[in-house]
Structure 1
Amino acid sequence: MPSLTNKPLLSFWQLWNMSFGFFGIQFGFALQNANTSRIFSTLGASPDDLPLFWLAAPVTGLLVQPVIGYLSDHTWHPTWGRRRPFFFIGALLASLALFLMPNSSALWMAVLVLWLMDAAINVSMEPFRAFVGDKLNPEQQTAGFAMQTFFIGCGAVIASLLPTLFSDVCGFSNESMNGTIPETVRYSFYAGGAIYFIAVMWTVFFSHELPPADLQAFQAARQKKVGIANVLKEIMAGFRQMPQTMVQLAIVQFFTWIALFSMWIYTTSAVADNVFGTTDSHSVFFQDAGNWVGTMFAVYNGVSALAAFLLPVFARLTSKKTVHLTCLVLGGMGLMSMFLITQKEWLLLPMIGVGVAWASILTMPYSILASALPAEKMGYYMGVFNFFIVIPQIVSGLLLGFVTKTFFHGHTMQTLVLGGACMILAGLLTLIVKDESHR
């Protein structure tokens, strides 16, 4: 493949085509993030148990991401390329899971489908991060990740609003009848499954990949590394060779993702309790709160889509670290301020800060990291970097329920305040990161 510094500049539409698949991927994540706790609660889960049921998501990421990253680094097909086979397989499985999720008739079924869904999304998503490193030189990498963030925001806005649109525009029922998933949620997942597959296929068909510079040597080296034992050996060896920048970013990511995980798990129950005045997951008010949380999440994702194009500008004027610090502090302040709000409309205001933070979370760490990674191991290290996203989620899944019950007496809005404090701490820790691209 061309070296990191002599890759040709891509046009706007080439960046568009290679990133469009993220529009569909985020449909899956947004539906999962905004509705999984709602589905679990409707099927009988208590707020204290929600973090444990959510463990399915980070555990699958922990297992899948580095393996998929390694395999995509060592894959080449003359038609499908290096990353695109994984885009296709992941999209097919994720779309299937999105169709299955709202048809779960028992809590254990929903948890199992969440495992499948998250594993499949990870299969298609992780190579997308490496795709930017493969195709773009350092001058365009921030713009490439920002384009991905734009599509993430656009997809998440529409997906988050779908239950409300199906209720208010299409007239589908938003009520849980005899403990079943509301029609609004079911049809949202059906639409998401179709859009996920179509969007990822767009990138598969309208983007191309350059072959390795020495294809014969690449294939010879790949043959020597076949076998699960060699794969695991190389993966474990890579942990001991992580660049310093990656280790520093891992600390920032730890506290960032504790904040995000608490938000995704508890916003529905927190808003239902603090604003709609109910903790009964089968009540109309609880389901209305679920729809309003979808609107809130649409706002923060919409803000992130717009902010995505401003971040590279501010990064050039200051630095990537300064941008990330500022954005995380704004996001943390937004989460903490929700505790003071009792009118649902005012809950949209904190989502502006969360949206700015989300745009930076999806852009700046990867842009900083890409400049510090060897090109031949881009997919692997991007997969390993995911460890520092899923490990804090696993810690959150194991501890947040205990903390919420013991220290906050079941008031999940206070857990969101804790998450906001963690995000501000993550912003301050950005100061320790060494940015190889800003010297």
Structure 2
Amino acid sequence: MDKPRLGFAHLCNISFGFFGIQIGFALQNSNMSRVFQTLGSSIDDLPALWVAAPLTGLIVQPIIGHLSDRTWNRLGRRRPYFLTGAVLSAMALFLMPLAPSVAAPLIFAATLLWLLDASLNISMEPFRAFVGDMLGTDQHAAGYAVQTAFIGAGAVVGSIFPFVLEHLGVANVAPTGSLPATVRWSFWVGGVALLAAVLWTVLTTKEYSPEELAAFDGEARPDTVQPLRALAAKGYASSFLWVVAGLAVALSVDALGLQKEIYLLGGLLALYGLLSAVAISMAKQGRAANMLSSIVGDFSGMPPVMKRLAVVQFFSWSALFIMWINTTPVVTQYVFGSTDPSSAAYNAGANWVNVLFTVYNGVAAVAALALLPWMSRRFGPVTTHSACLVLGAAGYAIFFFVRDAQALLVAEIGIGIAWASILAMPYAILASSLPQAKLGIYMGLFNVFIVIPQLLVATVMGSIMLAFFPGEPVWTMLFAAASWLVAATAMLRVRAALPGGAACV
């Protein structure tokens, strides 16, 4: 039995909550560097303050994916996580503008960023699997295109808030150490919008029960024993190597004079080695019913198409995180000529960044519905995604060479097309290639390759910039361009892992 085809209105209801989630992400991505600099952070310290966001995603996403695959209650399978994450995200958005009034404002803001990102991930990760749950394979591309359109629309709303409020007469400049009213009200209104949008999806959708899912063609329970058997058969050599690599990275900090954030990277490598050793030990003892062994087993046994897409994701999201951290410093310093967060020029530049982010997200919303489906049918998903990444790389390169605010809008067109493809093409390919009953855990593990590059950027980029380009953040845009070119090349290797080679999804 096949899943029934759903109309456009139902496709919208399934993903409307992502509109609100992306408002939260947009407020975070386009304003947190501004918040941190206003509270006294230097450019060199920004990556360290942003570490909280990807670190929480690394921890939260696989756990939520694993749990949501196994959840069923009055709200359903995925919807309990939508609602929980939305409530916590709204709370963090309401509290963020209060950071300047507490005793340790930077620590308070960084802690709220951790809470906000963790909560957004609790809601976001199940939304990816939700599309696969509710739609048949023939509608996966359409479902993720609609989701991407809502992501773009939500990001437009979230990014443009401060700019619109300024033009409505709300103050965009504040005394040193205080957040402008445009930023404060953006967070508060965004929190309300986020919660309302997620509630819409929760109230207008009804999930298939486990019995209904099992009845659909291709929805048989996946083999959960084989990955654990494969894990039990493994030795401890790989775990030992992860620990050694972590210790080596940590020891290199003093030896090479690197930034202290590198300690976090070393600690994570060593921690994964220890956890994998524990998971292997549990599997050898036959203790199959535990989350750690299940997650590690599924991670080590990822399907080939997922492994190749993981490389693409790694380089794709490295560039995105570079952009989110550094666009405000680049635009305010090189285009508007100010590095003083209390100056009118700096705040005008920071608001222009919100406009730039609005443009690329608006382009993404349009491209998701109008451009990507045509390109995918005409050239296939692999070539489509590779070409879009090349366009995005060209957009980043413009930031390095151009010093005109209006001209930067052209760069955002290429970036927006690439962003739309990043949000749609890999997930459509995965949802049509993976066991449907394990979409939650696989999507959670796939998102690890969104988080790891962000952690690397947050921990390594500061050392690179301080060593070779101190006080010159514009060079980060060349790193971003190169990263997307590498991703575009890596995408071409995915074709061989797809059923039928270059089969369209």
Q: TM over 0.5, yes or no?
A: yes
1:58 aligned residue:
54
Tell me, yes or no, if the aligned pair for 1:408 and 1:415 is still in contact at 8 Å: no
Amino acid at match of 1:80: L
1:403 maps to amino acid: I
In structure 1, C-alpha distance between the alignment counterparts of 2:444 and 2:165, rounded to whole Å? 36
8 Å contact 1:47–1:401 — kept in the other structure?
Answer: no
Look up the equivalent residue of 1:146 and give its one-letter code: A
Cα distance 1:228–1:84, how it changes in 2: closer, same or farther (>3 A)?
Answer: farther
2:298 is aligned to 238
**Aligned mate of 1:32, from 14, 17, 28:** 28
Task: Tell me what 2:119 maps to.
Answer: 120
Partners of 2:288 and 2:180 lie apart in 1 by 43
Residue by residue, what CA displacement relative to the aligned partner does 1:137-162 show, whole Å, maximum 9, x if unpaired? 11110110110110111111111111
Distance 1:80-1:289 versus aligned 2 partners, 3 A rule: same
Shift of 1:295: 0.1
Asked if the contact 1:315/1:323 (under 8 Å) is kept, the reply is yes
Number of positions where the alignment pairs a residue of Structure 1 with one of Structure 2: 426
Aligned to 2:311: 251
Which amino acid counterpart does residue 312 of structure 2 have in structure 1?
V
Give the match for residue 337 of structure 1.
Answer: 398
Moved over 2 A (4+): 213-218, 434-439
Asked if the contact 2:85/2:123 (under 8 Å) is kept, the reply is: yes
The structural deviation recorded for 1:370 is: 1.2
Rounded to whole Å, the distance in 2 between the matches of 1:382 and 1:436 is 19
How far off its partner does 1:281 sit?
2.1
Equivalent-residue separation in structure 2 for 1:102 and 1:260 (angstroms): 25
Match of 1:295 in 2: 355
* Alpha-carbon offset, residue 102 of structure 1: 1.7
SS of equivalent residue, structure 2 residue 3: coil
Report the Cα distance in structure 2 between the residues aligned to 1:123 and 1:229, rounded to whole angstroms. Answer: 23
Unaligned runs of 5+ in 2: 215-219, 225-286
Counterparts of 1:128-207 in structure 2 under 5 Å?
128-169=127-168, 171-207=169-205
Q: Highest CA radius of gyration, 1 or 2?
A: 2
User: Does 2:329 match 1:269?
Assistant: yes
> Is the 8 Å Cα contact of residues 288 and 294 (structure 2) preserved in structure 1?
no
Match of 2:18 among 4, 22, 30: 22
Paired residue for 2:377?
316
- Asked if the contact 1:42–1:176 (Cα under 8 Å) also holds between the matched residues in 2, the reply is no
The 3 A distance-change label for structure 1 pair 228 and 178 is farther
**One of 33, 56, 67 as aligned partner of 1:71:** 67
CA displacement, residues 313-371 of structure 1 (integer Å, 9 cap, x when unaligned): 21111110011001000001101111111111111110000000000000001111112
**Which residue identity lines up with residue 275 of structure 1 in the other structure?**
V
* Identity percentage of aligned residues: 50
| Secondary structure, aligned partner of 1:52 | helix
In the aligned structure 2, how far is the partner of 1:408 from the partner of 1:140?
Answer: 47
Corresponding residue SS for 2:406: helix
Q: Is residue 368–residue 436 contact of structure 1 (8 Å, CA) maintained in 2?
A: no
Equivalent residue number for residue 211 of structure 2: 213
Question: Aligned letter for 2:470?
Answer: H
Question: 1:213: Cα distance to partner?
Answer: 2.3
Partner of 1:420: 481
What is the aligned counterpart of 1:80 among 67, 72, 75?
A: 75
Q: What amino acid is aligned across from residue 330 of structure 1 in structure 2?
A: L
Counterpart Cα distance in 1 of 2:27 and 2:92:
12
Q: What residue is the counterpart of 1:102 in the other structure?
A: 97
- Matched to 1:356, the amino acid is I
How many angstroms does 1:212 deviate by? 1.4
Once the two structures are superposed, residues 179-220 of structure 1 have per-residue CA deviations (whole angstroms, 9 ceiling, x without a partner) of 1111100000001000000000000000111111279999xx
Are residues 1:89 and 2:149 paired? no
| Structure 1 residue 229, shift from structure 2 partner | 7.2
Amino acid across the alignment from 1:180: S
Distance 1:400 1:139, change over 3 A: same
Give the structure 2 partner of residue 224 of structure 1. none
Q: Which amino acid aligns with 1:375?
A: Q
Report the secondary structure of 1:432's partner residue.
coil
Moved more, 205-214 or 92-101: 205-214
**Cα separation, 1, equivalents of 2:435 and 2:184:** 44
Contact kept, 8 Å, 1:333 with 1:424, in 2: the verdict is no
Q: Give the C-alpha shift of residue 178 in structure 1.
A: 3.0
Distance 1:372 1:45 in 2: 45
CA 1:247–1:23 in 2, change beyond 3 Å: closer, same or farther? Answer: same
Q: Tell me the alpha carbon deviations over residues 84-127 of structure 1, each in whole angstroms, 9 at most, x when there is no partner.
A: 01111011000001111121121110000000000000000100
Q: Choose which of 38, 44, 47 in structure 2 pairs with 1:48.
A: 44
Deviations 1:365-397 (A, max 9, x none): 111111221111110100001110000000100
The amino acid across from 1:39 in the alignment is V
Are 1:325 and 1:430, in contact at CA under 8 Å, matched by a contact in 2?
A: yes
Residue of structure 1 equivalent to 2:343: 283
